[in-house]
Amino acid sequence: MNMGTATARSQVCLKRLLDEPQDNLRKFKRVCLAPPPPTTGLSPCLRPKSPKSSQSQSQFRVGPYFLFERCEGEETYRAVHTHTQQQYTCQVLPLRGYQERLAAYARLGHHDNICGLLDVVMGQDSVYVFLPGHHGDMHAYVRSRKRLGEEEAGLLFAQMLNAVEHCHRHGVVLRDLKLRRFVFTDRYRTRLALLGLDDCVLLHGDHNDDSLTDRHGCPAYVGPELLANGNASYSGRAADIWSLGVSLYTMLIGRYPFQDTKPAALFAKIRHGAFSVPSWLSAQAKCLISCMLRKLPAERLEASELLMHPWLTNPFTPRHNTHTIHHGSHKTLQNKQEDDDQVVPTWTEKH
């Protein structure tokens, strides 16, 4: 079965699942996890973990799929179809409220930079969502490369921004946006796609009203408005843009703009909104980062506006400046050295 046929079939399956009343969940045929027979030729690259318990086992079977190693820090697994040997990515969702989580796929439709839903398997108390296989995520790639050149970063970031713009235009706020959520769809690592929509929020009624009240996301990527005291609402789209700014900064410089080993100190830095940009970064790249990492959400550009920024629309020409832009405060040489020594960690837990 080719990918186009699988996608068409998944749309029919998705429509049926979304139309099914929640009260009928107990009527669904449950799929139990069972260890598959021994196989060869598939060596795990991470320590495998059971999706049902902390006991380590090599493989698990969910419907017609084998689930292998769990991705670090995520409820995501590498999966292989038992008959076709096709590679997939499996995300595990709680059974309760799964329809709302899957509704974003139906609303967004097909997009080259968003991984489409291919299959859904109902489990005992979880829903297993199968997405295309991939060739690694941006977080691991940046960590392995230390930092990316502006030309490569521009080509990749434009794809990330296209995915976010498509979501925002269709009333989908992503939340918990980070480098790890973007994966390579080709082995040459030139094409990116957003993996998973399970943390998103669908805007209903007037899509222009993107006010949210819950606090959700990775500490290093959250905007200052999410750290404010009280239950005041904030713009979901603007929060996504801040996270994109953190992502681009990290891609180009190799460390987070706001970083500390102690959460309280990290959040204080984010609230203050002060960050520095190295002198060797081009003026246009600095400008684009500053358009996203604005302390006031209303001052941040929207995704559609960012796509028109000269750093993304003009052919890349290296520009070197002799000064560093500082936002809010100056840094000493010792602090600069400490920043240079800070790199992207292996993974960041959700707040």
pLDDT digits (tens, 9 = 90+) for 184-236: 999 999 999 999 998 899 999 888 999 999 888 899 999 999 998 878 899 99
pLDDT at 347 over 50: no
Q: What is the pTM of this model?
A: 0.79
Question: Residue 169 domain-assigned?
Answer: yes
- CA 343 to chain CA centroid, nearest Å: 19
Predicted pLDDT of residue 295: 96
Instruction: Report residue 158 as tokens.
Output: 């434009």
Q: Which domain holds residue 258?
A: 138-341
Q: Is residue 350 classed exposed, middle or buried when 0-12, 13-18 and 19+ CB atoms within 10 A define those classes?
A: middle
Q: Is pLDDT of 46 > 50? A: no
Listed residues 94, 110, 132: the one ending a domain: 132
| pLDDT confidence of residue 16 | 65
Give the confidence band of 10 by pLDDT, cuts at 50, 70, 90.
Answer: low
pLDDT of residue 96: 85
Active site residue 176: yes
Query: Do residue 102 and residue 199 come from a single domain?
Result: no
Could you tell me if residue 70 is inside a domain? yes
Residue 106 lies in a domain: yes
Is residue 127 located within the same domain as residue 142? Answer: no
Contact (CB, 8 A) for 137 and 177: no
Please give the full DSSP string across 129-164, using - where no structure is assigned: EEEE--S-BHHHHHHHHSS--HHHHHHHHHHHHHHH
pLDDT band at 75 (very low <50, low <70, confident <90, very high): confident
Position 53 in a domain:
no
Percent of the chain with pLDDT over 90: 62
Q: What is the CATH number of the domain that holds 258?
A: 1.10.510.10
161 and 203 co-located in one domain: yes
- For residue 107, pLDDT over 70 is answered with yes
- Predicted pLDDT of residue 307: 98
Has residue 51 been placed in a domain?
no
Considering the domain architecture, whether residues 99 and 202 belong to the same structural domain is answered as no
CA atoms within 13 A of residue 225's CA, in its CB half-sphere: 24
Q: Is residue 144 part of a domain?
A: yes
Clarify whether residues 99 and 125 are in a common domain.
yes
Residues 247 and 295 in one domain: yes
Position 169 scores a pLDDT of: 97
- Among residues 119, 176, 198, 210, which one is catalytic? 176
> Is the same domain home to 176 and 273?
yes
Say if residue 142 is in the same domain as residue 128. no
CATH number at residue 106: 3.30.200.20
283 assigned to some structural domain? yes
Instruction: Let me know whether 199 and 314 are in one domain.
Output: yes
Q: How many CB atoms lie within 10 A of CB 194?
A: 23
Q: What are phi and psi of 175, to 5 degrees?
A: 55, 165
User: Is the pLDDT at 14 greater than 60, yes or no?
Assistant: yes
Same domain? For 146 and 261 the reply is yes
According to the model, what pLDDT value does residue 20 have?
64
Number of domains in the chain: 2
Verify that 107 and 145 share a domain, yes or no.
no
Q: Are 52 and 76 in contact (CB under 8 A)?
A: no
- Assess contact for 77 and 50: CB atoms under 8 A: no
